[in-house]
Structure 1
Amino acid sequence: MQDTSSKIDSPDWLDTIRWTADGLVPAIAQDAATGDILMMAWMNRQSLQLTSEEGFAVYWSRSRGKLWRKGETSGHQQVVHEIRLDCDEDVILLKVEQKGGIACHTGRRSCFYRKFQDGQWVTTDPVVKDPQSIYGPANGSEHSE
């Protein structure tokens, strides 16, 4: 991982974060090169610690109640270039390199592929790769929510 700081090495850096009552914090993954927002997921202390140590995004799956390494099923890992904390200390921003160009379990580059237009949600971004070819016919995707 690039851009590590002494704060990351400090034993109390995780205590700065304002965790939810469930011990989670929302994490936004942003393409480090383009600035595109790719996805949002949840992290707990362990997943954020592992992300900082390993240099790859690790999230917490609320639906499965376990750690979720982005790309463990699809191969579409997120290489973490920076970890940022917002001014309220309650949202994490991961600046990542998205391996395979697909962040969404629908086979799209970004999970934010719909735009509100004329009173409805309109799909604006195409499927890059069929999810069944990524996850199999049961679509056992790594999407956690």
Structure 2
Amino acid sequence: MTTDTLFSERGDKADMEEGTTFQPKFDADGLIPCVTQHAETGEVLMFAFMNRESLAKTLELGEAVYWSRSRAEIWHKGATSGHVQKVVELRTDCDQDVVLLRVLSGPACHVGYNSCFYRAARIENGKAVLAVVKDGKAYDPEAVYGKKG
């Protein structure tokens, strides 16, 4: 099975919106947005992109595989940290231009939090500021990834 044959070509609107063939719509850069959610708690863990190859690998492995835009390479989540995301379900939206991964996972954020969405924005003294809304870090990123900088 190749990525050329795994996914169906984009069909008519009715088939795309309510049919049974997976017709992911990749953007001009060959990417599709992916929201990743914890399967048990419903917490949104992270947002990333996938390309055709990483989406296919995710389906085949049952583990989250993304495309790293900053490194321009396939990124098997947890390969370095050990925080592998086991896919419980992969969904797509009605237009098939976004995917949602429901996963069982340890911490998802590379800076140490369970979720990458650990801060909330508010206005304070006329400026937008961020405040941490989650209790502490789940792990020490320097111990996992080494010192960066």
**Does the aligned pair in 1 maintain the 2:34–2:47 contact within 8 Å?**
yes
CA deviation vs aligned residue, 1:60-86 (integer Å, no higher than 9, x gap): 111111100000110000000101001
Q: Which amino acid aligns with 2:91?
A: R
Structure 1 residue 21 and structure 2 residue 28: aligned? yes
CA distance in 2, matches of 1:52, 1:12: 11
Which protein is bigger by CA-based radius of gyration?
Answer: 2
Q: Please, which runs of 5 or more residues in structure 2 have no aligned partner?
A: 11-22
How far did 1:14 drift? 7.0
What TM-score do the two structures reach when normalised by structure 1?
Answer: 0.82
State which drifts further: 80-89 or 70-79.
80-89
Give the equivalent residue in structure 1 for 2:141: 131
Aligned residue for 1:68, secondary structure, equals strand
How far did 1:121 drift? 1.4
CA distance in 2, matches of 1:14, 1:136: 43
CA deviation vs aligned residue, 1:106-132 (integer Å, no higher than 9, x gap): 010000011012332111122111110
Q: Please, which runs of 5 or more residues in structure 1 have no aligned partner?
A: 1-9, 140-145
Q: 1:83 aligns with which of 74, 77, 90?
A: 90
CA distance in 2, matches of 1:105, 1:58: 15
Structure 1 residue 104 and structure 2 residue 113: aligned? no
Aligned residue for 1:50, secondary structure, equals helix
Give the equivalent residue in structure 2 for 1:7: none
Query: Relative CO higher for 1 or 2, CA cutoff 8 Å, sep ≥ 6?
Result: 1
Give the equivalent residue in structure 1 for 2:16: none
Q: 1:12 aligns with which of 1, 7, 10?
A: 7
**Does the aligned pair in 1 maintain the 2:110–2:141 contact within 8 Å?**
yes
RMSD over aligned Cα atoms? 1.6
What TM-score do the two structures reach when normalised by structure 2?
Answer: 0.80
Q: Which amino acid aligns with 1:115?
A: A
- Following TM superposition, the consecutive aligned residue runs of length 4 or more in structure 1 with deviations greater than 6 angstroms are none
Give the equivalent residue in structure 2 for 1:52: 59
State which drifts further: 23-32 or 82-91.
82-91
